[in-house]
């Protein structure tokens, strides 16, 4: 393994990861590229170890499927940062590290005597990456932000959902936090690159609100340019300068598929004639449908009842077929119909299987569990899962010995003192 | 003047629509020089769709294009023309990084695949960001943001339980992909700086979004449960949702996780007695009785503006935020404090307000500059990067090389 770390893009770096769910994706992503990421947890454990769902439905710090999803590629040590001795030890660790990542409320690092200016004095090459809902300073910086609140304040929530129902976020995964974690990861990589040329570390700060604002589809930009708001329409596509909405999500026999009926040149030269031909073969087209001149069809100038009529043909056809049948026909006939995948569909997706995408990691009781193995596939450097998510404090002995030369007796004393 | 983190990094981009362009615009904001290769004949989709500045249909006025391309240079080349091939070879020789977001195999057919590029520049870093990656049965299948979003599985977990799958935002994968692309490119640059070694990065858009889904994949594998859609609810906090406020389609998001927050919340909405009602007195009870709880809360929010709800609850230590619209974002005091939006003037098409970067680097801050007009940098790039004389450039102009 150490030999392949030499080939890893970030294999020469060590990261101290102090984050909770607002930032733990950052360390995981850096870890995929080979960084040695050490999760520094309070003796009771990162509080996000108690986020459900749990394996077998049983709550516990080692049982959170959520936590174990985003903390592979890390080692875990415990350290009480609220004690002066713990803070001293942390400052010693910082001398052996390249990056510190944290997602505490702004100001908390300073209270513990480990803010950027202190860390920079100890190690001028250190990079501190801070993630928080509304940045480190400014009118909202002390405010609390949940994932849902960051969706709202970044403008993505108002854009998601049906217009006649409440706006809605992505369930389960805390998507806004993960976007901020990803932004923190590339921001850290840029800071590492610059350190390589300048010798200097710096403070990298990420606002989760801004990460979301960089993910919404131009709510602000379009408003500024046109004075118009984009009303949410998450299973439709709005045609510019008209009231026409094209359906993007359709019912199939056993689930849903995504498809847009493009008008004009694109529709005429791509999906539409092929789809009509397929429907015709199955007896689901008639003279009206066959007679449409797609090249001349402009949705903007099509009366609403005709929009509905054309959609009706496609709706009936898709409902008569399973997702698998639609995908099969779509591939053969080169039509951009795409099933809305479920987690089960993704686990069995032939493309992912053919590319060896899943990587089995050891799980409790001798089980193996499939994880995504990578976020990209470099030709020379590995991007992979290096280790399973750690148990709380699993690497105390190893890390404290390797980095600070603590012997078993000293580690024992620190444990008794509640420091680690 | 502040140093730029990616000063000296040269990037050539063969890209379309959103995901590829956004990737290289991030690099440009931190100081990389980016030359985007375009075609006059086959315009980027994003130059053709609106909305357009001033409502004038013109490829330099499309908001989609402007939004995704700040800070770049645009060179138009007819890559099938022999003379264009020698020009592109000299631009590649200048480049450290090539980003390709064409459908799999398209650059190879143009003689610009990785195998071709390393002959020109042995330590080049090339990243290909197509739908499925460059091997496997689906390799080379063209796609775009809408089917890709369905492919990612995210709509399956977006929506209320009794609602069809919803697309988060618009084609959300377009906005996720650039993040991991930039991470891979910059890390590869760092590795090359240390070892001299370039490489090819096959960055399938499908594969780079799946790590986000790991919790629901593990839940299926370990617990045998498909988590499905649960609206705005959380499995570890209640109340947790969006609540209708005074005004037309106005909403506020509220999240309560701890007992202390619950007590403060009830006091803040002037209903301290609610905190100890048996139906709501513990997190387990609140999670059980969310429908009733939500109705009580919405009675309070309905008569208030979302801003009033937000300030009242935030002052009580509760996570709460307005569902901001374009207008709200433009007037957000925190975003203003951080100078997040950058209104940049353009002599021909007028000003456009670009969103900035979500990452601040204290010693090497990002800088935004405007998106290019189609072919705006043909002449300057031909002179300075390619090394053509005036006469040579004028000669090529007559040969449809730049079309």
Give the DSSP letter string of B108-161.
HHTT-SHHHHHHH-TT-EEEE--SS-SSSTTTT----HHHHHHHHTTGGGBS-T
Predicted confidence (pLDDT) per residue in A349-372, tens digit: 999 999 999 999 999 999 999 999
Q: How many domains does chain A have?
A: 2
Mean pLDDT of all residues in chain B? 95
- Do A362 and A335 reside in the same domain of the chain? no
* pLDDT band with cut points at 50, 70 and 90 for residue A2: low
Across the interface, do A144 and B214 touch by the CB < 8 Å criterion? no
Q: Calculate mean pLDDT across residues B326-352.
A: 94
- Do A188 and A323 reside in the same domain of the chain? no
pLDDT of residue A236: 85
Q: Is B313 on the interface with A (CB under 8 A)?
A: no
Q: Return the ∠ at Cα A379 (arms to A375 and A383), rounded to 5°.
A: 30
Residue of A55, A338, A379 lying closest to B147 (CB–CB): A338
Predicted confidence (pLDDT) per residue in B221-278, tens digit: 999 999 999 999 999 999 999 999 999 999 999 999 999 999 999 999 999 999 999 9
Tell me the two tokens of residue B332. 């957000």
Mean pLDDT of all residues in chain A? 95
Across the interface, do A343 and B169 touch by the CB < 8 Å criterion? no
Residue of A202, A240, A338 lying closest to B362 (CB–CB): A202
- Do A403 and A306 reside in the same domain of the chain? no
- Do A357 and A337 reside in the same domain of the chain? no
**Residue A256, strand partner residues:** A251
- Do A70 and A141 reside in the same domain of the chain? yes
- All residues of chain B having their beta carbon less than 8 Å from the beta carbon of residue A219 are 324-326, 329
pLDDT of A188 higher than 80: yes
Q: Calculate mean pLDDT across residues A167-187.
A: 98
* pLDDT band with cut points at 50, 70 and 90 for residue B84: very high
Whether A52 is covered by a domain: the verdict is: yes
Cα(B401)–Cα(B403) distance, rounded to whole angstroms?
6
Whether A360 is covered by a domain: the verdict is: yes
Across the interface, do B362 and A204 touch by the CB < 8 Å criterion? yes
Predicted confidence (pLDDT) per residue in B109-135, tens digit: 999 999 999 999 999 999 999 999 999
Q: Is B189 on the interface with A (CB under 8 A)?
A: yes
Predicted confidence (pLDDT) per residue in A20-58, tens digit: 999 999 999 999 999 999 999 999 999 999 999 999 999
Whether A330 is covered by a domain: the verdict is: yes
- Do A304 and A265 reside in the same domain of the chain? yes
Whether A226 is covered by a domain: the verdict is: no
- Give the nearest chain A residue to B155 (CA atoms): A340
Last residue of a domain, one of A291, A310, A341: A341
Cα(B137)–Cα(A213) distance, rounded to whole angstroms?
36
Range of lowest pLDDT (A1-5, A92-96, A123-127, B45-49) = A1-5
* pLDDT band with cut points at 50, 70 and 90 for residue B104: confident
Domains of chain B by range and CATH?
A: 10-212+338-397 (3.40.50.10540), 240-330 (3.30.1540.10)
Q: List Cβ neighbours of B384 (8 Å cut-off, separation of 6 or more).
A: none
- All residues of chain A having their beta carbon less than 8 Å from the beta carbon of residue B20 are none
- Do A268 and A321 reside in the same domain of the chain? yes
Q: How many C-beta atoms lie closer than 10 Å to residue A27's C-beta?
A: 28
Whether A74 is covered by a domain: the verdict is: yes
CATH no. for residue A168?
3.40.50.10540
CATH no. for residue A246?
3.30.1540
* pLDDT band with cut points at 50, 70 and 90 for residue A219: confident
- Do A258 and A392 reside in the same domain of the chain? no
pLDDT of A243 higher than 90: no
Cα(B335)–Cα(A224) distance, rounded to whole angstroms?
15
Q: Calculate mean pLDDT across residues A144-161.
A: 97
Last residue of a domain, one of A315, A341, A367: A341
- Do A49 and A140 reside in the same domain of the chain? yes
ipTM above 0.95, yes or no: yes
pLDDT of residue A4: 81
pLDDT of A18 higher than 60: yes
- Do A211 and A239 reside in the same domain of the chain? no
- All residues of chain B having their beta carbon less than 8 Å from the beta carbon of residue A28 are 211
- All residues of chain B having their beta carbon less than 8 Å from the beta carbon of residue A342 are 153, 156, 226
Across the interface, do B194 and A210 touch by the CB < 8 Å criterion? no
Q: Calculate mean pLDDT across residues B348-353.
A: 90
Cα(A301)–Cα(A69) distance, rounded to whole angstroms?
49
Tell me the two tokens of residue B226. 């498909």
**DSSP string spanning B172-222?**
THHHHHHHHHHHHHHHHHHHHHHH----EEE--HHHHHGGGGHHHHHHHHH
- A378: phi then psi, degrees, rounded to nearest 5: -75, 150
Predicted confidence (pLDDT) per residue in B207-228, tens digit: 999 999 999 999 999 999 999 9
Q: Is A7 exposed, middle or buried (0-12, 13-18, 19+ CB in 10 A)?
A: middle
Q: How far is A179 from chain B (nearest CA, A)?
A: 7
Q: Calculate mean pLDDT across residues A360-385.
A: 97
Tokens 């008794």 correspond to: A416
Tell me the two tokens of residue B74. 């645009």
* pLDDT band with cut points at 50, 70 and 90 for residue A3: low
- Give the nearest chain B residue to A356 (CA atoms): B136
pLDDT of residue A1: 52
Last residue of a domain, one of A306, A341, A376: A341
pLDDT of A171 higher than 80: yes
- Structural domain boundaries, residue A300: 235-341
- Do A212 and A94 reside in the same domain of the chain? yes
Predicted confidence (pLDDT) per residue in B192-207, tens digit: 999 999 999 999 999 9
Whether A294 is covered by a domain: the verdict is: yes
- The answer to whether the predicted template modeling score (pTM) of the entire model surpasses 0.95 is yes
Predicted confidence (pLDDT) per residue in A78-106, tens digit: 999 999 999 999 999 999 999 999 999 99
Predicted confidence (pLDDT) per residue in B312-338, tens digit: 999 999 999 999 999 999 999 999 999
- What is each CA distance from A316 to A320, A335, B69, in whole angstroms? 6, 17, 40
- Do A156 and A286 reside in the same domain of the chain? no
Higher pLDDT, A200 or A5: A200
Q: Calculate mean pLDDT across residues B349-370.
A: 96
Q: Calculate mean pLDDT across residues A244-263.
A: 94
Q: How far is B400 from chain A (nearest CA, A)?
A: 25
**CB within 8 Å of chain A, chain B residues 207-226:** 207-208, 210-223, 225-226
Q: How far is A145 from chain B (nearest CA, A)?
A: 5
Tell me the two tokens of residue B116. 């071709």
Across the interface, do B207 and A372 touch by the CB < 8 Å criterion? yes
Q: Is B295 on the interface with A (CB under 8 A)?
A: no
């Amino acid at each position: 393994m150490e030999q392949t770390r030499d080939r890893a893009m970030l294999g020469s770096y060590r990261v101290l990861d102090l984050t909770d769910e607002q930032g733990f994706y950052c360390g995981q992503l850096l870890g995929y590229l080979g960084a040695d990421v050490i999760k520094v947890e309070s003796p009771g454990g990162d509080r996000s170890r108690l986020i459900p769902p749990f394996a077998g439905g049983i709550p516990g710090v080692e049982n959170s499927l959520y936590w174990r999803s985003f903390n592979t590629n890390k080692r875990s040590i415990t350290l009480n940062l609220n004690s002066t001795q713990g803070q001293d030890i942390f400052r010693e660790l910082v001398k052996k590290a390249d990056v510190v990542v944290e997602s505490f409320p702004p100001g908390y690092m300073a209270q513990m005597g480990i803010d950027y200016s202190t860390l920079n004095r100890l190690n001028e090459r250190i990079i501190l990456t801070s993630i928080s809902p509304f940045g480190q300073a400014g009118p909202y910086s002390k405010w609390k932000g949940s994932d849902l609140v960051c969706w709202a304040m970044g403008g993505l929530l108002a854009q998601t959902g049906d217009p006649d129902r409440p706006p809605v976020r992505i369930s389960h995964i805390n998507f806004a936090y993960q976007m901020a974690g990803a932004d923190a990861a590339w921001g850290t990589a840029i800071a590492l690159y610059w350190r390589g040329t300048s010798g200097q570390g710096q403070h990298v700060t990420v606002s989760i609100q801004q990460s979301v604002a960089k993910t919404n589809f131009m709510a602000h930009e379009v408003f500024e340019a046109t004075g118009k708001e984009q009303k949410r329409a998450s299973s439709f596509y709005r045609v510019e300068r008209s009231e026409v909405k094209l359906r993007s999500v359709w019912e199939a026999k056993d689930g849903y598929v995504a498809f847009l009926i493009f008008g004009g040149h694109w529709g005429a030269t791509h999906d539409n004639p092929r789809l009509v031909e397929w429907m015709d073969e199955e007896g689901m087209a008639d003279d009206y449908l066959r007679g449409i001149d797609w090249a001349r069809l402009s949705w903007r100038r099509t009366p609403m009842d005709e929009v509905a009529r054309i959609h009706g043909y496609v709706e009936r056809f898709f409902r008569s077929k399973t997702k698998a049948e639609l995908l099969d026909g779509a591939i053969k006939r080169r039509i951009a119909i795409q099933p809305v995948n479920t987690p089960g569909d993704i686990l069995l997706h032939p493309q992912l299987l053919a590319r060896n995408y899943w990587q089995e990691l050891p799980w409790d009781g001798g089980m193996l569990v499939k994880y995504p193995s990578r976020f990209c596939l470099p030709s020379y450097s590995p991007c992979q899962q290096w280790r399973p998510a750690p148990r709380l404090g699993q690497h105390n002995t190893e890390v404290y010995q390797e980095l600070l030369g603590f012997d078993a007796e000293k580690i024992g004393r620190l444990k008794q003192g509640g420091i680690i | 003047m502040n140093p730029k983190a990616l000063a000296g990094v040269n990037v050539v981009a063969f890209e379309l629509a959103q995901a590829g362009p956004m990737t290289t615009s991030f690099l440009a904001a931190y100081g990389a020089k980016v030359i985007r290769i375009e075609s006059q004949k086959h315009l980027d989709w994003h130059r053709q769709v609106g909305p357009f500045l001033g409502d004038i249909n013109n490829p330099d006025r499309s908001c989609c294009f402007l939004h995704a391309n700040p800070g770049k240079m645009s060179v138009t080349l007819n890559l099938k023309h022999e003379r264009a091939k020698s020009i592109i070879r000299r631009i590649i020789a200048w480049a450290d990084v090539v980003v390709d977001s064409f459908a799999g195999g398209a650059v190879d057919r143009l003689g610009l695949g990785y195998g071709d590029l390393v002959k020109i520049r042995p330590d080049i870093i090339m990243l290909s960001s197509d739908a499925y990656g460059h091997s496997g049965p689906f390799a080379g299948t063209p796609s775009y943001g809408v089917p890709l979003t369905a492919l990612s599985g995210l709509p399956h977990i977006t929506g209320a339980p009794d609602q069809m799958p919803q697309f988060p935002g618009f084609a959300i994968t377009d906005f996720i992909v650039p993040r991991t692309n930039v991470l891979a490119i910059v890390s590869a640059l760092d590795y090359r700086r240390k070892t001299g070694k370039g490489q090819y990065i096959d960055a399938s858009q499908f594969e780079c979004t799946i790590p986000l889904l790991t919790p629901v994949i593990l839940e299926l594998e370990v617990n045998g449960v498909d988590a499905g859609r649960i609206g705005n609810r959380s499995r570890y906090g209640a109340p947790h949702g969006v609540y209708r406020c005074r005004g037309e389609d106005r909403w506020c998001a509220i999240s309560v996780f701890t007992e202390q927050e619950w007590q403060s919340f009830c006091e803040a909405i002037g209903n301290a007695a609610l905190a100890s009602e048996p139906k709501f007195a513990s997190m387990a009870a609140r999670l059980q009785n969310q429908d009733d709880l939500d109705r009580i809360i919405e009675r309070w929010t309905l008569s208030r503006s979302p801003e009033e709800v937000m300030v009242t609850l935030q002052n009580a230590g509760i996570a709460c935020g307005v569902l901001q619209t374009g207008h709200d974002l433009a007037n957000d005091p925190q975003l203003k404090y951080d100078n997040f939006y950058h209104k940049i003037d353009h002599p021909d098409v007028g000003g456009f307000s670009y969103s900035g970067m979500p990452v601040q680097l204290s010693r090497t801050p990002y800088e935004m500059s405007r998106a290019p007009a189609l072919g705006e940098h043909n002449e300057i790039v031909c002179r300075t990067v390619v090394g053509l004389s005036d006469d040579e450039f004028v000669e090529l102009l007559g040969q449809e090389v730049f079309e």
